[in-house]
Structure 1
């Protein structure tokens, strides 16, 4: 799922301003892309790179690729990031309801699902290798 998200971020760069808008990156990013600024594309590419790295660790945890350094620790951190990002929806909805939109709701749900899957896989990997 991280790899899919990484490719989606790369597609957004190629898709341009309308894709930034559609996928909820915000009007500021869309305008930067319209102006030809490298900022929107650079930040989106950096996010894609991080997601690719996370997918490498997930594949390694599943035994599909060679084990990178600090596999367990990194998988725990990735899991925590996904879960915290997903759970941000609740306090935002309570204390800043004006910022809650369909993108935030959907992306939060996706992050919770991915976090739960990471948690399950990481826990399984740790138990099998203990």
Structure 2
């Protein structure tokens, strides 16, 4: 197995697992954490009111990110083989790239209360967009290297 491929997918898996754990931390941290991490004032207010929706939404995101990290680890050969790994890695990488490329233009283009709120958090948007671009690159480069090593 190509060690460069392992490095890309291993790093993608670790970073995505950290993001998953951070979302769990947001639920534990409560309303101030929802605000800090860009979930929006509405979700923070719902958390303050003890509503279940922010918890379900945030844990669902954590779950998806956890599955994505498993796909990265699977592609790197670190764990069991997941179904349709090559396709999944490409889709995951593409989603991260799209979020990284379109996140800021989206909030600047459309008029929506949540998107307007994010306009005031441009540092958060820039940092999260750069992280998503990095993750997209790691997943796609890892998927490419995996495919290349299979075809050789």
Distance 1:47 1:94, change over 3 A: closer
Bigger RCO of structures 1 and 2 (CA < 8 A, at least 6 apart): 2
Structure 2 segments unaligned to the other structure (5+ residues): 1-14
TM-score, L = length of structure 1: 0.93
Cross-structure match for 1:109: 130
What RMSD, in angstroms, separates the aligned Cα atoms of the two structures?
1.6
Unaligned runs of at least 5 residues, structure 1:
none
Give the Å deviation of 1:129. Answer: 1.3
Q: Which residue of 2 aligns with 1:10?
A: 24
Of 116-125 and 2-11, the range deviating more from structure 2 = 116-125
Aligned residues: 130
What is the 5 A alignment of 1:90-101?
91-92=105-106, 95-96=109-110, 99-100=118-119, 101=122
Q: What TM-score, normalized by structure 2, do the two folds share?
A: 0.80
- CA-CA distance at 1:89 after TM superposition: 3.4
User: Do the aligned partners of residues 15 and 90 (structure 1) sit closer, same or farther apart at CA in structure 2, a change above 3 Å counting?
Assistant: closer
